[in-house]
Amino acid sequence: MSVEFPLAARMAALWMVLASSLLAPPAGAAAANGLQLPSIKSFFRNPDVADIRMSPSGQWLAMIVRGQATRNALAVVDIDNKTPPAIVANFSDADIRSVRWVGDDRLVFNLLDGERGGGDQAFGPGLYSIHRDGSDLRQLIKSKREFVRQAGTIRRETLEWNHELLAVPRDDSPEVIIGEYDLNYAYEVQAVKALRLDIDTGRTHSLAVGSPAYSREWLFDPKGEPRVVVAEHEGVARTYWRAPGQDAWALIATDPAQQRSFSPYFVDGAGNLFVSAGHGKDRSGALKRFNFATGKPDGDPLVVTPGFDVSGPMILDASGTNVVGLRIVTDSVTSVWFDPAMSAIQKAVDARLPGHANVIATCSRCAQVRSVLVFSSSDQDPGSYWIYRPASDDWRLIGKKRADIDATRMATLDFYRIKARDAMDLPVWVTTPPKSAPGGASGPRAAVVLVHGGPWMRGTYWRWDPEAQFLASRGYVVIEPEFRGSRGFGFVHFRAGWKQWEGAMQDDVADAVRWAAGKGLIDGKRVCIAGGSYGGYATLMGLARYADLYRCGVAWVAVTDPRLLFQDSWQSDFDAENRNFAIPTLVGDPVKDAELLRAAAPVEHAAQIRAPLLLAFGTQDRRVPLEHGTLMRDALHAAGRDPEWVVYVDEGHGWLKVENRLDFWGRVERFLDQNLNGVAPAH
């Protein structure tokens, strides 16, 4: 670990890193004459600035930046003094993963090893504390695999690896809230027990006394008092509430785990519970107050975003009692401010940085806001961090996420709502390359349909995305459908995807392609389908079911046989709750729906896949074990259709190592060029 060199040297070292990134010529400068393609490394290397957090008083910033030997380091900036950032923690064999302030003097952070693959991250992330000036480094939670050679002060009270940070209370205590994972013999989580940890002494005291069995989700008020617990067991979710001044937990809801009547969202300092509950025809998640007199959410929503579920944090004033704002994600990130002063600041920021999504962070414990931290980004701009002083209209650039990205050469992202073949709403994203990208002078462009993983998650929103932007930089239009089953667009949209992996979910992807071709947005005869995890599954099933639609496919860490999801094996990280209840509900029951699952297995349809295919897997993947890949490869070989095959020996469910990301996307670039820009292969 390299925290031993003098403070002045640390400051100079980081300032050189940031200055070189901020002053570097844009990537397009050399390309202006020869139209040189942006480097693949610009898209898939680690960012220059990964995250910035403002201290509670608003005096300091904590930054995760590229430090010595490209390792992610932790730096601190004094906002008022305008001095260069100072590195306070930088390890030679580990990367800072995430950071939080505990008061204004202390920070807590965890680690990963970015020079090892994702499959080698088989450890809890640990937890460390350090003072703002870089002194008194302490290990609070061990990693499952101790890979850091110098871990700081290790005390007798250091917690074992099965603990993780849950929350940081808004008070003046040196305490954080930790979750202790109760594991069975197979290392499956049975429950999470909350406790408070004093980061100075290492002592803990339980917050879980009297909590129900199988507690998995906790919600705390601003001072760190547990107010909501959700216990999930045998497919049933039970939600409990503990009112201020009470010791007992009261049951307030019992629901099927996949069909909750509401989801706990936030508890303010006055003890009010806010929930997300379905509202309107599409049952989109609206923000409502829970009414304890009626035992259910109020009928009238406080915030509703039709067509989207409300998501994002609520923002409190310095007292921790009054809500002053809400950050939400619809098609883009936006903030709703209930405080007139903050509304005025947001208006001024948006005027200064037009055409961007501008997210404002403020001090959490100051009565009067003197400075705000602004993260400003767009579909073409990965983003920059600024400090803005409203009183003097003073702006200071703190850092850019990716200084070598030239926004003028990036693609634009547009959002559409179209109709699927059964008239259901289908959200679709379209990334359109700039005119300077290859292939733009001779009619509609070739396209890549990029199918998101999950599948029970949202694919994207209006932002700069490395995968879509890289593909667009090579001249391809990128189509990203939010097929039914995707979350974030209301419960009706989510529910319509149940047991439709092979059916309507695939039809949605095909409908998005045909719509784009019909609108002239793409060349419908030059389309490749691609995706990872469920997206890889959709790639394989798309090639089998819609052979006339796709010229090629790229699938990584792909589910190739949904029946393998039910295996009780050390190779899989699905626990019994998922295997026995969630997956049967969402995908299909292994007994009742045996024929559906057989029909939904790409390995059963290898003979129908005639297009060229690139398959990639990780040897250490526990979400989709390598067996999925080898079975598919062998089935294709038996059908006389050998795929291009690559295995990353140290990776898990995706590529963590930069060198593996560069290798994989380089393969994708060559594969697409051969199959979309060359002669159409015979199917």
Q: Is the pLDDT of residue 147 over 60?
A: no
What does the radius of gyration of the chain's CA atoms come to, in whole angstroms?
A: 25
| pLDDT value of residue 664 | 98
| pLDDT value of residue 16 | 33
Over residues 592-610, the mean pLDDT reads 97
Over residues 171-175, the mean pLDDT reads 89
- DSSP string of 17-65, one letter each residue: HHHHHHHSPPTTTTHHHH-PPPPHHHHHSPPSEEEEEE-TTSSEEEEEE
| pLDDT value of residue 443 | 83
Domains in the chain, start-ordered, CATH in brackets? 411-676 (3.40.50.1820)
Q: Which two tokens stand for residue 383?
A: 């983003």
Q: Is the pLDDT of residue 532 over 50?
A: yes
CA distance 18 to 13: 9
Which H helix or E strand runs over 336?
Answer: strand 333-337
CA distance 459 to 484: 11
The pLDDT > 90 percentage for the chain reads 77
Pick from 100, 76, 78: nearest CA to 86: 76
Cβ-Cβ contacts under 8 Å for 147 (sequence gap 6 or more): 93, 94, 113, 116, 123
**How many helices (DSSP H) and strands (DSSP E) are in the chain?**
13, 36
Q: Assign 672 a pLDDT band (cuts: 50, 70, 90).
A: very high
Q: Assign 454 a pLDDT band (cuts: 50, 70, 90).
A: very high
| pLDDT value of residue 69 | 60
pLDDT one-digit tens code per residue, 279-321: 999 999 999 999 999 999 999 999 999 999 999 999 998 888 8
| pLDDT value of residue 172 | 82
Q: Is 182 exposed, middle or buried (0-12, 13-18, 19+ CB in 10 A)?
A: middle
Task: Count Cα atoms within 13 angstroms, Cβ side, for 166.
Answer: 24
Q: Assign 2 a pLDDT band (cuts: 50, 70, 90).
A: very low
| pLDDT value of residue 92 | 83
Q: Assign 557 a pLDDT band (cuts: 50, 70, 90).
A: very high
Task: Give the number of other Cβ atoms within 10 Å of residue 155's Cβ.
Answer: 11
Q: Is the pLDDT of residue 153 over 60?
A: no
Q: Is the pLDDT of residue 195 over 60?
A: yes
| pLDDT value of residue 572 | 75
Q: Is-contact 473 38, C-beta < 8 A?
A: yes
pLDDT one-digit tens code per residue, 381-430: 999 999 999 999 999 999 999 999 999 999 999 999 999 999 999 999 99
| pLDDT value of residue 122 | 55
| pLDDT value of residue 273 | 96
pLDDT one-digit tens code per residue, 72-130: 999 999 998 877 788 999 888 888 999 999 999 999 999 988 777 766 555 577 899 99
Q: Assign 8 a pLDDT band (cuts: 50, 70, 90).
A: very low
More confidently predicted of 187 and 299 = 299
More confidently predicted of 50 and 679 = 50
| pLDDT value of residue 94 | 86
More confidently predicted of 22 and 667 = 667
Cβ-Cβ contacts under 8 Å for 37 (sequence gap 6 or more): 31, 438, 473, 474
Angle at 629 between CA 627 and CA 635, to 5 degrees: 100
pLDDT one-digit tens code per residue, 495-509: 999 999 999 999 999
| pLDDT value of residue 14 | 39
Q: Assign 376 a pLDDT band (cuts: 50, 70, 90).
A: very high
| pLDDT value of residue 171 | 85
| pLDDT value of residue 440 | 72
| pLDDT value of residue 366 | 85
User: Among the listed ranges 4-13, 376-385, 532-541, 592-601, which one has the minimum average pLDDT value?
Assistant: 4-13
Q: Assign 490 a pLDDT band (cuts: 50, 70, 90).
A: very high
Over residues 221-250, the mean pLDDT reads 96
Q: Rounded to an integer, what is the distance from CA 351 to the centroid of its chain?
A: 29
Pick from 199, 195, 197: nearest CA to 209: 195
| pLDDT value of residue 27 | 38
pLDDT one-digit tens code per residue, 566-596: 987 767 788 889 999 999 999 999 999 999 9
Q: Assign 24 a pLDDT band (cuts: 50, 70, 90).
A: very low
| pLDDT value of residue 189 | 86
Q: What pTM did the predictor assign?
A: 0.91
Q: Is 619 exposed, middle or buried (0-12, 13-18, 19+ CB in 10 A)?
A: middle
